[in-house]
Amino acid sequence: MTPEEKYAGLQGRQPLDILYQREREQPDRIYLRQMQQRQWREYTWGEVMDRARRIAAFLGERYQPGDRIAIHAKNCADWIIVDIAIMLAGMVSVPLYPGQSTTSMRYVLEHSESRLIFCGASDDNEALKEVAATLPSVAIQRCEIDCDESLEQLVAEHRAITDCPLYPDDQVFTIMYTSGTTGNPKGVMHTWSAISFAVPNMVRGFGFDESDRFFSYLPLAHAAERIVVEFHSLYAGTPVHFPESLDTFLADLQRTRPTMFFSVPRLWAKFKEGIDAKIPPRIQHLLLQLPGVNRWFRNKVQKGLGLDQARMLVTGASPISIDLQKWYHRMGMMVTDGYGMTENFIYGCITHMGETPVPGTVGKPFWDCEVKISERGEILFRSRALMKGYYLEPEKTAEVLRDGYYHTGDEGYIDSDGLLHVTGRLADSFKTSKGKFIQPPELEGRFGDNPLLGQVCVLGHGMDQPVMLATLSELAKKMDPHECAEQLSRDLEAVNETLAYHQRIRAIFLVRGDWTPQNELATPTLKIKRKAVEAQYRPWIEAHPTATGVVREPVAAPAERSPRDSGFERPATDID
């Protein structure tokens, strides 16, 4: 059976229509698996729809079609069930990140005029408690704050609706807020037509079906996780597995052994840091050179990560360094870099199935998607997956939607093989005091495979030479500080020898702690907030105008930062 024949019945259909079919034809097939007390709690398609229909009945009693309903929770089966219920009720979902700051959450809830919030596990219960007190709330799985009602109570008290509504294609079904890298999050409105066009095309192209296994742990508020995992699973019938907690993450991942796994560059880097801390890079290099041993070592690493059955590994949300991607390829894990954004329903570019990922590129456009480069070098997209606009912000909408194209704000080019290269953000480039332009991602990428560094951020507007701020990896934190500084100084010198003089990095400024959503130096998707990072550390850098090599942040930090984890940054490895 060809892919066209296999997926012929999906194109143009709304997810609700697919759900009704699964409810009729596969009511006893397992759809969601939630780890609870070290056992899988399984939900069939029939049970998922019954629960969703009861929640939809509750929503229909109290709210009107089109009302905005917020979800704030870590990934769990209830997250998807509640999302389906909101769709059934004809209301508009507003997902919130579990690691979102109080200020950002309050802004999103007020801006979207949300009427109700479903609350689950959170990275900051005090923040969630504060914002949840401003509107009616319902507790779902693992919620640790007091809410007005509980989901189980609603399910028990309401009779499931029996009708099977479908809605006009041009009707908005969700407002997904951007992560707010440069300011307040923007509410991206998407209609039913975007999902019924984009997701069936992606499912057909990737070949997902009921035999695959998805593992969901990145925030479902993130467009990529929601589309690649939740919506793909609805159309492909693929079971979705949820870990019990961060502490059990690796064990749950190993038990699932997903066939598709999506993560962000920071998490791919953390996985590698965990392996480097147990098996030094020089030993890794040696093992990979030994015939017979290399295959054993690759298999050991893959099994230690729980990814030995994965036929598709995807990174996205922010650029991954070429060196880091190559490291995974050497380990036999062909991580591919996907490129899309909330505004185009992440329907952008990726390495197509059957093709080999090329590090440094994000592959080719999705099917029926047009990408082109403007005269100023900006990447533009056009497809039927583009957003309707930014909620309540027509001026900002007009800035990015022009002549039928979405203007990404990213720079790039398309090579002779049709592969898209993303070279950076137009707004991130800066000019040194010598009048030379610097593109930070290009320099940051030179350190992507460095086992001693965690997060990196190059800056230097108005300076003679650029400098780099960086956090330390787990391996580096265990080293003698002087040895670590000496090694980094040598690494910096080696990199600088490969750069043009105006690009050479004057010094590495090592900071204490990490940049996280909690200290508002990173977005909930772990993108570094460059302006916020520079604002915090610029005075320290300017106090050392002639420093070279490695400079350590003093014990008294420039500003107090939270020691909390960033929510989903803890996963390591199980390689002995």
Q: What pLDDT sits at residue 558?
A: 46
Q: What pLDDT sits at residue 3?
A: 60
Residue 344: count other Cβ atoms within 10 Å of its Cβ: 25
Can you tell me whether residue 194 is helix, strand or coil? helix
Is residue 560, in this structure, part of any structural domain at all? no
Q: What pLDDT sits at residue 575?
A: 55
Q: What is the mean pLDDT, run by run of 10 residues, along the chain of 576 residues?
A: 70 94 97 94 98 98 97 96 98 93 91 97 90 94 94 96 96 92 87 96 90 94 94 96 90 95 89 89 92 93 94 88 92 95 95 91 94 95 97 96 95 95 85 83 86 91 91 90 94 92 92 86 82 90 91 67 42 53
Q: How far apart are CA 102 and CA 554, in angstroms?
A: 29
Q: How far apart are CA 573 and CA 276, in angstroms?
A: 10
Is residue 27, in this structure, part of any structural domain at all? yes
The answer to whether residues 391 and 175 touch, using CB atoms and an 8 Å cutoff, is yes
Q: Do residue 471 and residue 410 come from a single domain?
A: no
Q: Do residue 406 and residue 265 come from a single domain?
A: yes
Q: Tokens 């899988």 identify what position?
A: 40
Tokens at 418, concatenated: 């049709």
Q: What pLDDT sits at residue 554?
A: 86
Q: Do residue 317 and residue 353 come from a single domain?
A: yes
Q: What pLDDT sits at residue 57?
A: 98
Q: How far apart are CA 327 and CA 14, in angstroms?
A: 40
Q: Do residue 402 and residue 451 come from a single domain?
A: no
Q: What pLDDT sits at residue 556?
A: 56
The answer to whether residues 173 and 195 touch, using CB atoms and an 8 Å cutoff, is yes
Q: Do residue 414 and residue 434 come from a single domain?
A: no
Distance from chain centroid for Cα 489:
32
Q: What pLDDT sits at residue 557?
A: 46
Q: Determine the length of the chain.
A: 576
The answer to whether residues 23 and 43 touch, using CB atoms and an 8 Å cutoff, is no
For 188, half-sphere exposure in the C-beta direction (CA atoms, 13 angstrom radius) is: 25
**Domain-ending residue, one of 167, 187, 207:** 167
CATH for 19: 3.40.50.980
CATH for 474: 3.30.300.30
Total-model pTM: 0.83
Q: Do residue 263 and residue 403 come from a single domain?
A: yes
Is residue 374, in this structure, part of any structural domain at all? yes
**Domain-ending residue, one of 425, 458, 487:** 425
Residue 220 Ramachandran class (φ > 0 left, ψ -120 to 50 alpha, else beta): alpha
The DSSP code sequence of 50-80 is HHHHHHHHHHHHH--TT-EEEEE--S-HHHH
The answer to whether residues 68 and 114 touch, using CB atoms and an 8 Å cutoff, is yes
DSSP 160: P
Q: What pLDDT sits at residue 289?
A: 92
Residues in contact with 527: Cβ distance below 8 Å, sequence separation at least 6, in sequence order: 179, 181, 317, 318
Q: How far apart are CA 316 and CA 414, in angstroms?
A: 19
**Domain-ending residue, one of 128, 144, 167:** 167
For the chain, the domain total comes to 3
Phi, psi of 281 (to 5 degrees): -50, -35
Q: How far apart are CA 280 and CA 395, in angstroms?
A: 52
Distance from chain centroid for Cα 459:
24
Q: Do residue 514 and residue 443 come from a single domain?
A: yes
Q: How far apart are CA 238 and CA 18, in angstroms?
A: 13
Distance from chain centroid for Cα 424:
18
Q: Do residue 146 and residue 25 come from a single domain?
A: yes
Q: How far apart are CA 32 and CA 19, in angstroms?
A: 14
The answer to whether residues 491 and 450 touch, using CB atoms and an 8 Å cutoff, is yes
Is residue 196, in this structure, part of any structural domain at all? no
Q: What pLDDT sits at residue 502?
A: 87
Residues in contact with 328: Cβ distance below 8 Å, sequence separation at least 6, in sequence order: 268, 272, 313, 334, 335
Residues spanned by the domain of 530? 430-552
Nearest Cα residue to 166 out of 187, 202, 188, 195: 195
